[in-house]
Copies of this chain bind each other. A is one copy, B any other.
Amino acid sequence: MTRYCIGIDLGGSFVKVGLLNGDNKPGKPMEFPTPTVGGSRAVVDQMIAGARALMTKHGLTKKDIVGVGIGTPGPLKISEGIIIASPNIPGMVNVPVRQWISKGLGLPAVLENDANAAGFGEFLCGTGKGVGNMVLLTLGTGVGGGIVVDGKVVRGGHEVGAELGHMLVQPGGEQCNCGQKGCLERYSSATFMALRAQRVIEKGRSKSSLKPVLKKNGSLTAKDINAARKAGDELAGKVWGEACYYLAVACVNIARILDPEEIVLGGGMAAAGKDLLAPVKQYFKNMTWTIAKERTTVELARLGNDAGFIGAAGVAWQTFGKK
């Protein structure tokens, strides 16, 4: 009899649930809107209902399920199974999500932060398949990270590790909301890349083709910047290049510290594909050491939004399963 773990990925817009069998083969996930009214109880009830719907769809009962992995945005108390807060999901404050879900489904459950879960998903079934050590950088609104060392997710001593967006890539540089100066997130996230371009334009110093786009839409996106860059816009080229340069600085540091087989670029910005990958790889090649052959490679993520539920289910296998 094939047994499964259920992975639940809680996002600001959707709850995604899916199965993973003991050979790390994921099933097609189901998606449900994240409730916007009813507070934390409504959100968790939707997660439970989603998992039940998934089991029903596949004709599974509790005895077919080894455990449930829950990936959510944080900050979290992972080992206590508690969401401390979730900035993009109203009402999620001090929610014992693991306990509620475990009780609701009658199954053992484990909590993991969403970036770690996505990293573990890519490690198990995506770009990292077959390696022992992998680091995921998720590039979107912010920059997040997931670290896998010798096949296991690294949480850190206080469960706040893998905050790769808050690595200092330009000490003393741009002020970050976290209180530090010069964080990777301030140079290489979609949000701040757009803000950097916007700031130059608003100072009136640029003839960039992004100027009318900003005027029309009130803000810029990473996509706008990449499009302008490809059309030859100088400011866009500079900002995009800077984002890639600092990502490469982060990659050098990750390679020296953790020496993973692969550093994987994921998140919304990874949709830019080789427009992102090629310059990051080039900067990385130019900057990394020459005393030894650089063996860590930089790659694109493969699983897109599915990485989260897959990795959450993978953590459940690692916690509850005997494969």
Q: Nearest Cβ distance between residue A250 and chain B, in whole angstroms?
A: 9
Residue of B nearest to A293 (CB): B158
Contact with B along A134-160 (1 / 0, CB 8 A): 000000000001010110101111111
Q: Which residues of B contact A258 (CB under 8 A)?
A: 154, 156, 161, 257
Q: Which residues of B contact A159 (CB under 8 A)?
A: 259
Contact with B along A171-183 (1 / 0, CB 8 A): 1000011111100
Residue of B nearest to A162 (CB): B257
A220 interface residue (CB < 8 Å to B)? no
Q: Nearest Cβ distance between residue A322 and chain B, in whole angstroms?
A: 20
A287 adjacent to B180 (CB under 8 Å) = yes
A238 interface residue (CB < 8 Å to B)? no
Q: Nearest Cβ distance between residue A88 and chain B, in whole angstroms?
A: 16
A:104-137 near B, CB below 8 Å: 131-133
A253 interface residue (CB < 8 Å to B)? yes
Q: Which of A132, A163, A254 has the most CB of B within 10 A?
A: A163
A291 interface residue (CB < 8 Å to B)? yes
CA distance A133 to B181 in the complex (A): 26
Q: Looking at the complex, which one of B152, B167, B288, B290 makes contact with A256 (CB distance below 8 Å)?
A: B167
CA distance A252 to B253 in the complex (A): 13
CB contact under 8 A between A157 and B178, given known A162-B257, A256-B167, A257-B167: no
Q: Which residues of B contact A152 (CB under 8 A)?
A: 150
A282 interface residue (CB < 8 Å to B)? no
A289 adjacent to B178 (CB under 8 Å) = yes
Q: Looking at the complex, which one of B157, B162, B176, B287 makes contact with A131 (CB distance below 8 Å)?
A: B157
Count how many chain A residues have C-beta atoms less than 8 Å from C-beta atoms of the other chain. Answer: 51
A193 interface residue (CB < 8 Å to B)? no
CB contact under 8 A between A177 and B259, given known A149-B154, A157-B133, A249-B168: no
CB contact under 8 A between A256 and B164, given known A149-B149, A149-B154: yes
A179 adjacent to B289 (CB under 8 Å) = yes
Q: Which residues of B contact A312 (CB under 8 A)?
A: none
CA distance A260 to B261 in the complex (A): 22
Contact with B along A213-234 (1 / 0, CB 8 A): 0000000000000000000000
A:271-309 near B, CB below 8 Å: 287-292, 295-296
B292 adjacent to A160 (CB under 8 Å) = yes
A36 interface residue (CB < 8 Å to B)? no
B171 adjacent to A290 (CB under 8 Å) = no
A256 adjacent to B289 (CB under 8 Å) = no
Q: Which residues of B contact A260 (CB under 8 A)?
A: 156-157
A157 adjacent to B171 (CB under 8 Å) = no
Residue of B nearest to A152 (CB): B150
Residue of B nearest to A246 (CB): B171
CA distance A152 to B147 in the complex (A): 15
Q: Nearest Cβ distance between residue A189 and chain B, in whole angstroms?
A: 15
